[in-house]
Every structure is written in structure tokens, then in C-alpha cells.
Structure 1
Amino acid sequence: MGNLPVVTTSFVGRDSELDSIDRALRDHRLVTLSGSGGVGKSRLALQTAGRVGDRYADGVWWADLSHLDDDQLLTTTVCDGVGLLDHSARRPVAALCEWLSDRRLLLVLDCCERLVDSCRQLVTELLAAAPGLTVLATSRQPLGAEGEHAVEVHPLSAGEDGDEAVRLFHDRAAAVVPGLALDSPGDAAAVAEICRRLEGIPLAVELACAQLRESSAQEITGRLASRLDALSDDTLWPRRHRALRTTIGWSHELCAPLERLLWARLSVFRGVITTADAEAVCSGGPLGAEAIAPALESLAGQSVLRRTGDGYRMLDTLREYGAMWLAELAEDALFTDRHARHFAQTAVQAHAGWLGPRQVEWYGKVAATHADLCAALEHLLAEDPERAMEMAGCAGLFWSCCGHLHQARTYLERVLALPLSAGPHRTRALWALGITLTLQGDHEAARRVGKECEEAARLGRDVEGALSAAHSMSFTYLMMGRPQTAHLVSDHALRRHPGDPADAPSQMRCRVIRLFALSALGRLDEAYEEATRLQRLSLRFGEHWARAYADHQLALIHLLQGRPRQAESHARAMLASKHQLHDSLGIALGLDLLAGAIAAQGDGVAAARTSGTGHMYWRIIGHPHRGTPELGAIREQWELRARQAAGDTAYERAYRRASADDAERGLAHALERQLPS
């Protein structure tokens, strides 16, 4: 259980360090691996985490802090790392403390060096609140927290001290130039000399090794010696830093001019870099868009970039070097701004494409680029507040669906506090904030914002804004347990603005609220007709969000009317859609219904397992069972039927096992259950 990054290279050496860290984690609840950049702290932490994972009943969880320049998103980044997508209005640290309080897990905080003070404070709070928590941190300096056990990470052994660096060189050489033989006396001596001169620093060794495509080991040795000798003054460059700095600089020199330019421009990214994003942000001047893809591949071949999934990542040390050169070129302000405007446009395009066949793709894009979207929004808040407001409003629904409610609320409140003119961007931001507040359970604040959104739409004579305001208001009333008012507001808006949803996507959202209100009022026949109409509309547009809620309501109606097999089929369809949209709240709602449908068919143990998985998802979003209030009593009936079918002992055993399991694995098991013939 956990989320450790996928490893694509072998781990070499460090047996004694692994044993030492293993022992330290048994005796201390906070262990920090400290050392200079490029020395291998993150890789050692990852290897350690994989090795000791079985000791932690609730898994090993990884939070990458390398993209953070300040502490505003520190706690929410850690929440994301442990899989907590809190939907409450609590401070994120309070939600995180509660989430961890009864768990026994290892939390790895990678790259704490920019936020040492904030990390120390956060870790101190977490360790006090969660007795089963152990933290393994990496940083260029210890955190300085009480009870911390610091382990200095040294370079790999090289020369007279051992051959770990040589083994690493040979391992990476086999990947760079398959079949290359380095076993002649001359090559063996050259490799040993390279590793000795590079002080065994893993990143430096890997960068030097990448040059084997163009040079022999002996040629690399000669060139490296001349460069290091030119930097012989230890007062300017400490010896170890000098070796790494020289190797990075040499790798930079060996890149083609356009590759060096791309390296610098890529430093403005915070997360995974796709080819399309790089082309949009980094092209210009001598670097044409058509040159980006081959340059990315070349930089990956030289170990400047690491391939990951459909994109690339740049190690923090290399990103810092690129940023230095970008500033030297006087292009840092230009490309920081281009990066921000590109991701603002990404949010706008995602919002515009919400009601369409690329909906799932847009949800995935917004989730995958979260770090870059936040960096872009921070920049625009200072440089172009109007564009920031547009961006925040467009990203709002995606963020709320993907569980980034705290970030959504913070950014939306910040842009709405700015003295900007009224208009559709402000109306949309108010709508997004109203939805966010409702999902957090802050209903009174949501009502106030909804009223403000309604007035803004009226003054602007904005049809989409009016429907958005109605969606926000009716959603709030629905979650407050006032389905009659929710129906009145949504139905009135739909009758007043009866056009095609293609022209006003919030019409689909209002239809969802009207459907839920009808079923909550017990008007099941009308709700069934509304759900089937909504399904047809969703299929026409090729979208999943509204279709999933239509399936939810059809499952509920079939279940209430005694058709559990049909209910199970619709619940599964809903879960499949919500899983594609990364919507944990929707998954939790769907699992509740699926458990009820299974219980109604007499399989109490399977219902208990499904309910236990649902419990995990409700905990992930930081709430007890939510949804519309009237579902509470219905859930109790389904649980009673499941207990009667399975027996209390078997029910509790299955429920506890599922609620302690990994949520994704539990969902997969729930969806694998065969429908009865």
C-alpha cells in the first residue's frame, strides 16, 4: 500500500547505508537524509522505503516537495501525497493530523531544503498527533526538529575507498550504449579515474556516463581532468560541489546550442513536462516548435531529463542550473510569464471542453499539471489579476472534483478579493467558489456567494452565469436537506433558459440537481424520466460527469423500487465514470449504492466489503458518509440487510478488512464482482 514512484533504473551499492537507515527507522520516528545536491538522497530514500514497507500496516507514502518555492501549498501537497482529498473547511493540517492519527505508516518527504522551517513545524505537529507515524525526510540540511535522527548521505565509494561508483558507471553505461565493453585495462583505468575525480557523486557519474554515446571513457577522463584543474581554488568551489558543478557545466557544454536553450527554458516547469506543453512554452527565437521534441529526447539521452510516463521530469539540481542560465540569458521573466499564460489557457480550454468527448482527458490534464497550474496562478495574481480570475474560475470545478478544495477556495477567495471589474470571469469565479464552499460543508457562506453570483449574472445579462448561479444555489440547498427549494431554483432556471446545453453547459449541471431533488422528494417516476433524458443528453455530448450522476439516480430508483440487479449495473457504470474523472466523492457515493444493491441480492459479505471500501473513500475526502441527507436512513436499511444475510461476525470481518485495505485496490475488487446471471 502506498504511492512510491516507479523505479526505472537499478540501485547500486550503499548496503551499509541501507542497513544504518533501516536501524534508525526502528529507533526514531523522524530520520532525515541530508547531503549536497546530486549525492543520491532521494534515490536512497526510495530504496529504503521499498525495503522497509512491510513494517508499516498502512503503507509507505511519498510526497515530492521539489516543486514548492514557498510553504503555501506544503500541507496540501503532503495531503495529496498520502491520498487525503479533504472536503471539509478545516485547516489542511488539522485534516491531515486526523487522517494520520490512527494509522501506522511511513511518510517520505522528499526535497525539504527550500522549506526547512515549515517542514520542521509540520512534521512536529504530525508526529505529535499520529503515534503510528514515522517520517523519512530528504534535505540538503537537517530539519532541526526535536527527536530527529540525521543521516549524512555521502557519495558512492570511489578509488581507494571502494568501487560503488565504478559499478554505477558500468550499470548506466550498459543502458546508454548497449553492448559497450569497458573491460580493457585502459578503459577500466579511465572509468576508475572518472569516478575518483567526480568524488563518487551519483548524479555527476550518470551525467558523465551519458557522454559515452559520443566519446570513449579515456576521452572523457582527459576532458574532465582539464576542467576540474581549472577550478582548483577550494575557496571558490568546495571540492565536492566543484566536481558536480563541473560535470553539470560540462554536460551543458556538450549539449547542442538549441538543447542548452531548451534546458534553460524548461526550468520554469514544476511538474511533468509533456512535449506539447514544452512546444507551447519554450519555442521562440532560434528554437522552433519543430525542434522541441528531438531536443527533449536528446536531453533525456544525456540524463538531463528523466522519462516518466508520457513526459519528462528534470531533477531539482539540474533545474536550478537551467534557471541560472535562463537568468543569464535575461529570459527568466519572459518564460515565467509564458509558462503562466500557457497554463492559464489550459484551464480555459479545459473549462470550454468540459461538456464534450474530451471531458475525461481534460480532468486528467488538470490533475496531472496541478503544480504548474498553481505556479501559473501565483504568477498571474501578481502580474495579471484579471487573467488570474479567469483561470481560477475555469479550474474551479475540476479542482473541486479532483479533491483540491483547499487550493480552490484559497485561490478563488484571493482573486475575488481583488478590486477587479464585474463581468463573466467574476461571475464564474463566484460560481466555482460557491460549489467549493458547499462541498466543504460551509453552507451559509455558500449561500451568500451564490446570491452574489446570481446578482452578478443578472446585472451582466449572462445566461450561462444565471444557470451557474442556479446550479450553485440549488446544490447548496440540496446538501442542506432542502430538496424542495433545490428543485424550485434549478427548475426555474431551466424553464427560463431552455436552450441547448452546448451553448450553456451549466444547464447540464442544473439538470443533475433537479434530478437529485426529484428523487429526494420521492417523485421517483419523474426522477426516472429526468435521469433517462439526462443520459441521452450525456451520450450526445460524449461526457461522463452528468452521465455518472444519472446512473447514480437510476441505481437509487431501481433499488428503491425493488430491482437490485439493475441498480447494481447502474452503480457500476457510475463508478467507472467517476474513477476516470478522479472524483473520490462520486466514487464514495457510488460504492454506497453498490453495497446496497449487493445487499438487496442477499450477498452480505460482498456488501460488507464494498461498504468497507466506501468507508475508505469517505475518509479520504475527510467526511463521514455524505451525499444528500435523506440517504442516511436508506444506508442503515441496506447495512441491516447485509448483516442479516452474512451474520454480524462475518460482516464485521469483511468490512474491517476492506476498510483497512488500499482504496484503489478495494475499488478494483468491487468492480470485478460478477453480475448475477
Structure 2
Amino acid sequence: MTRCGNLPAEMNSFVGRTTELDEIAKLLTRTRLLTLRGPGGVGKTRLALRAARNVRDDYPDGVWVAELSAETEGGLLVHGVAGVFGLHTQAERCALESLIEYLADRRLLIVLDTCEHLVDSCAAMVVAVLTGAPDVQIIVTSRQELGLPLEVVMVVEPFPVPPPEAADLAEHDAPSLFLDRARAVAPGLRTDERAMMAVARLCRRLDGMPLAIELAASQMRGLSAIQLADQLDVHFKLLADGEGLLVRHHTLRTAAGWSHELCTPAERLLWARLSVFPAAFGAEAARGVCEDEFLPDVAGVLAALAAKSVVTRVGDRYRLLDTIRDYGRDWLAELGESDLMIRRHRDHYLSAARRMGAGWCGPGQLEWACWARGELPNIRAALDRCLTTGDHGGALELAGALWVLWCHLGLVREGRHYLDRALAAAPVTDRARSRPLWVAARLALIRGEMSLARGRAEEAVESARRHGDADAEAHALLALAESRLFTGDLDLEGARAYARRVAAGLDPTSPGTLFLPSFLAMAATFGGDFDEAVRILREARSRHDARGELSQRAMDDYVLSLALFGQGDIAAASAAARAALEAKWRLRDTVGGVLAIDQLARIAAAAEDGRRAAWLLGAAQRIRTTFGPPATEDDTLTALREAAGARAVCLIGETAYARAFDEGAASHFEGAVTYALRD
């Protein structure tokens, strides 16, 4: 992701809508909130994205698209939108404030796509964003307008259809769309007068609805336009009233039903089963959730559905448009498989989360990070379904298994949301509580809530011992030890005692074994035994290198920088902190990244570069309040940061310090990283 935006590539040609595109461009010169309203399948999303593409040069900070159809909970809406910009808010402070702070000094366009199921939440967020970010504009697509005074609504109509007497169909968008899509599946398509009359008849029958036209065009393989129009006539007569008039508001659903009838039994079954995915999915996920003895070749059937425009391909992923998903969901219920598919969807992501946890401390970290961020809508849907259907055990297991996502990829606030809900709903005696409890303890550590971290860790230890879960007990003990270490309640000998207890409970292949050296080195550093800390970390480096691990090695580099700083080797401390920041930036781990920037500020202050120290402290504070919380209780790392600030003030004075701090605080995360890595 770059600051120029995240507009998706167009997967096929854009047809028509010249008048609408011109009108949108004009409206954007005089309104900050434009809603494209229309029924499902009318082409609101394609129109919004093409219009945004046409004007993107007007927005130096880019055009950004937030696809909201998979969002089911208004309370998490802002977090989803913030995630588009790489913001993963973690603090108690309102996530909306963090988003507004990020957008306040930017000139950009946001497309909020598919808002009708979250109208009230969207409206509240839009008002706040437009109020707090004066150079931001928003395009909304929705079946229902937001109802705001500042909103300009443009109704998106179906394509005008050619009248029976029309001589030149090239002037009409509806047949142009049909012909464009039909040629993709039938290159030798006939376009003589009789065929074109059939195309015009077909477009009239489909009321000019773009999605219905595309579905029809996808059936042209092996058929002529005349045959297709005749088939469609027969099918649509089933919905005619006593006078032979089509029930027009059923057009799209009827077209979907007709496409459904033209599918093979295997294609119909996969269509229904794929409706369990609320957002885009990969072929592997489709196989994992949908494949069984009744559907043994998901890959082949998926390709066939894509060829028929039932499934839309987006890069190497697939998705169902909302109307198509709704139709499939109805058939899934008719088949009696709704609960089965929800369980399989949950089990697929639970299994993947467990594999991610087991394989995290290895060479695949970047791939797992990419997978986790790409699958967030499906992960959220699985968690929400568990919580709303009373599947408390499933919610506990999945929320706990996702510890990498919550603790190492920046989604601390969201992790806490799901962990707290799952823990509150499940019985205290549930054996599945042990892992979620130690994960919750680690999130509290990250948030600087040391008392809460200690309480969660103690509860996790008790639960793990009760159920004989040695691995969970070891991780809980480590979190407990860290909560004591950061509040000055544990010395190096005490840390070593904890480490022995932790190591005794861990499998040698457990990720927790790689966390211990950093903990011990931190204890040595806080106790002033810098040589011991350096020795521990340099021994650990070979184990990280052997595994091809990146994240924990970066954390060790950060602690190594603290220890080298204590030894007085400023150059080596700087190199270690930069290495930590580079790795955390690659993983987009903002929590680890801000620690490294804090350390580089300390180093700058020690090198008597007060302005650089102030700038970095300001940037770190901006990142900390945007992506995560300030420490809520006194701890050792906070004291180190405050000492660097005091030193910088002594070097350059309060006025210059405030100016440089504010400059850093006005930077973007990527800008802060670039500056911090600069010599």
C-alpha cells in the first residue's frame, strides 16, 4: 500500500455512463459528500470507482476505497475504514479521533462502498470526518441515502434500453455492455440485424440492469443471441401477471435465478456454499470450506462460475456480488446447509490461525502477515458468527489462535474487543479460556496496562494448571513476569527463575522459546548488566537465523540497542535500532516500530542532536496515539522516553523543542520511518 491510494485495477472494460461520469466530476467540485444511490446490480460500485479513477490526479494524498459489505457491526465500522489507511487503533480513545487525526492534514477522496446496512454508523462517521478533515471528500455507494443535510444524492438508474424501433444499437449502453461481455466468451459472435434485434429485446427484458445483462452475456458460449433471448423470454413469463406484465422489481433476482438454472448441479451447490464468505476469498479457502464428497472439484467448478460471471475474479481472489451472494444464501438455507457451512468457515479459519501461530517464528512471516490482513473480513465474520450464535467455545478458540494478528501485526484494539467478548460469554470453567487469557494479558502489556496484564496472566496460569495445559501456563507465566519486570518488581535473578519455569513448560518448537532471550536480556538491561544482555542476544541470533525468523529477531535488535546504549556504544546501538525498525516496518508492526523510533530518539539526544531527538519523539507520539495507546501506568520504557525528551530540551531549549516535536507529530508513519532511518 502506498500513499497514492488503493484503487483496485479494473478487471474488464468499463462501458457507458459518460453522462453520469461527467455529472459526478462536476458535483465533486461543489460538494464534499456525494452518495450514489440505486438498487443492487445497477452498477454503483463500478461507476464510483471509474469516477474516482478519472479525478484521482486532483487528490495529492490519493483515492482510497473502503469496501463495507462484509462489515456486520457498526461499532467496528471505523476500525475497518481506519485499516484501509494502515491504522490499527488500539487505545481507549475513540478510534474515530485517531482516524480524523490521520486525515486532518490530507487532501484525498474516500469511496465508502456498500453502506446501506450500516447507514446510521456511516452517517455519524462521515459527519465527523468531514468536520475534522477539511480537505477530505467522500463518495458513498448505497441502496439508501445517509440522510445528511450536506449530502448530495445522485440516483444511479439502469441503462436506458433501446426502443423496438431503434436502428443503431451502438448509441445505447445496454446492448454495448452485452456485446462487450458476450465477445469475451463467444469471440465469433454474430452481429447481423436479426441478432442485434435479439440483443435489444434481451436488454429490454432485463430492464437495462447492468448485472443482469452481464449474467446473460456470460451464457453466450454455444448459444446465439436469438436463442438466448428466447430462453430468457420463457423464463421471465413465469413472473408475469395476468395481463402479461413483468413484475419489474424482480428483474435482477429473476436473472440470477435464470443463471442458476443454467448452471450444473455442482455449480449450483458451490454457488450456495460460497455465499458463506462475506468478502473476497482465495481458491484455497473455497476448497477448505466447500469441498467434500458431494463437491470434489471446487477449483474446476469455481473457474466455471467465474466464466459465467456468477463469481467475480479480483486479482488472485474471488468474490460474489451482494445480490448474487444473497441468492446463493437463500439456496444454502433451502439445502439445509447454512449451519454446516458456517461451521466449516469457522473451522477453516481456526485451522489457518493455528498454522499461522505454529509457523510464525519461521521464514513465512511476511506471507502469513499478508494472508492475515487479506482475510480480515472473513476472520471477523467467523468471530462475529461465533459470538452471535452462542458458539462460545469457537469464539474463544479462534480469538486465542489469532494471537499473531493481535500481538504482532498491530490489531491490538480489535483483538481486545473479541477476546473480551469471548471471555465474558464463556463459562469460567471452560478449558478453552487458557490461551485467550494469556493473549489478553499480552495485549494489556502492549497497551501499557500493567495491572490488567498481571490480573489476566494470573487468571491464565490458574486456568492452564486446572486443565493441564503446560504450553498456555508457560506463556501466561512469561506475561506475568513481563508485567512485573516493566513495573520494576522483578530483578535479573527473579527473571531467570521465571524463565526456567517457562522453558520447562514449552515444547522446544514452541514460538515462546524465541521470546525468552529478549525477556532475559531486557531484565539484564534494566538491572544495568549490559554485557550479560548483549551476550544473551548474540547467542539468540543464531537461533533466529536458523529459523529464518524476522519479528522476534527485530525485537531482540531493539533490546540489543538498549543494552549497547548502556555500554556507551552509540553507533552500534543506532545500527541495532535501525535494523529493528526496518524489520518492523516490513511487517507493518507499528507497536514494535514505535519502540525503535523512541530508541533512535534517545540515541539522537545522546549524540547531542536535540532537534532530531525532538522530531523523532513527536513522530513516535503521533504513531503511538494513532496506532496504539500511551502508557497508562508508570513503567521503565516510559521513563527512558521522558529522559530523552528532557535531554533534548536542555540541548535546544523549550521553544525549539516544541517546534521540532510538532513537526515530527505532523508526519505520516511512512515519513517517520524514512526520517528515522536516515543518517
> Cα offset for 1:78?
1.9
1:343-492 counterparts in 2 under 5 A? 343-381=349-387, 382-422=389-429, 425-460=432-467, 462-477=469-484, 482-483=487-488, 485=490, 490-492=495-497
Structure 2 counterpart of 1:628: 637
TM-score, normalised relative to structure 1: 0.86
Structure 1 counterpart of 2:548: 542
Aligned residue-pair number: 662
Q: Quick check: 1:278 aligned with 2:283? A: no
Q: Deviations over 1:289-340 (max 9, x none)?
A: xx10011111111111122343211111111111011111121122122212
> Cα offset for 1:258?
0.1
Q: Deviations over 1:148-173 (max 9, x none)?
A: 21111112333159422233234334
Q: Is the 8 A contact 1:558 1:566 kept in 2?
A: yes
Structure 2 counterpart of 1:14: 17
CA–CA separation in structure 2 for the residues paired with 1:639 and 1:210: 67
Structure 2 counterpart of 1:221: 229
User: Does 413-422 or 26-35 show the bigger shift?
Assistant: 413-422
Secondary structure in 2 aligned to 1:295?
helix
Q: Quick check: 1:5 aligned with 2:11? A: no
Structure 2 counterpart of 1:11, one-letter code: F
CA RMSD in angstroms comes to 3.8
> Cα offset for 1:267?
0.3
CA distance 1:565–1:205, shift in 2 (3 Å): farther
> Which one of 287, 309, 314 corresponds to residue 295 of structure 2?
287
> Gaps spanning 5+ residues in structure 1: where?
none
Structure 2 counterpart of 1:165: 174
Secondary structure in 2 aligned to 1:629?
helix
CA–CA separation in structure 1 for the residues paired with 2:351 and 2:139: 38
> Gaps spanning 5+ residues in structure 2: where?
none
1:244-283 counterparts in 2 under 5 A? 244-283=252-291
Structure 1 counterpart of 2:637, one-letter code: T
> Cα offset for 1:370?
1.8
Q: Is the 8 A contact 1:344 1:388 kept in 2?
A: no
CA distance 1:52–1:487, shift in 2 (3 Å): farther
Q: Is the 8 A contact 1:575 1:587 kept in 2?
A: yes
User: Does 487-496 or 304-313 show the bigger shift?
Assistant: 487-496
CA–CA separation in structure 1 for the residues paired with 2:115 and 2:259: 26
Secondary structure in 1 aligned to 2:220?
helix
Structure 2 counterpart of 1:136: 139
Q: Is the 8 A contact 1:595 1:608 kept in 2?
A: yes
Q: Quick check: 1:574 aligned with 2:580? A: yes
CA–CA separation in structure 2 for the residues paired with 1:79 and 1:105: 14
CA distance 1:657–1:18, shift in 2 (3 Å): farther
Q: Is the 8 A contact 2:366 2:587 kept in 1?
A: yes
User: Does 535-544 or 156-165 show the bigger shift?
Assistant: 156-165
> Cα offset for 1:71?
2.4
TM-score, normalised relative to structure 2: 0.85
CA–CA separation in structure 1 for the residues paired with 2:430 and 2:441: 17
CA distance 1:537–1:165, shift in 2 (3 Å): same
1:56-67 counterparts in 2 under 5 A? 56-67=59-70
Q: Deviations over 1:412-450 (max 9, x none)?
A: 112222352546531211111112223233333223222
> Cα offset for 1:19?
2.5
Q: Is the 8 A contact 1:348 1:390 kept in 2?
A: no
CA distance 1:419–1:243, shift in 2 (3 Å): closer
Q: Quick check: 1:84 aligned with 2:87? A: yes
> Which one of 345, 348, 352 corresponds to residue 342 of structure 1?
348
> Cα offset for 1:659?
5.5
> Cα offset for 1:66?
0.5
Q: Quick check: 1:495 aligned with 2:487? A: no
Structure 2 counterpart of 1:197, one-letter code: R
1:146-185 counterparts in 2 under 5 A? 146-160=149-163, 162-177=171-186, 179-180=187-188, 182-185=190-193
Structure 1 counterpart of 2:212, one-letter code: A
CA–CA separation in structure 1 for the residues paired with 2:676 and 2:641: 21
> Cα offset for 1:571?
4.3
Q: Is the 8 A contact 2:36 2:48 kept in 1?
A: yes
Q: Is the 8 A contact 1:228 1:242 kept in 2?
A: no
CA distance 1:236–1:106, shift in 2 (3 Å): farther
CA–CA separation in structure 2 for the residues paired with 1:639 and 1:49: 45
> Cα offset for 1:532?
1.3
> Cα offset for 1:37?
0.4
Q: Is the 8 A contact 2:448 2:631 kept in 1?
A: no
Q: Is the 8 A contact 1:463 1:497 kept in 2?
A: no
User: Does 271-280 or 349-358 show the bigger shift?
Assistant: 349-358
> Cα offset for 1:248?
1.5
Q: Deviations over 1:637-661 (max 9, x none)?
A: 99799999xxx89x979x9699556
Q: Deviations over 1:365-405 (max 9, x none)?
A: 33222222222223333343223212211213422322322
Q: Is the 8 A contact 2:555 2:580 kept in 1?
A: yes
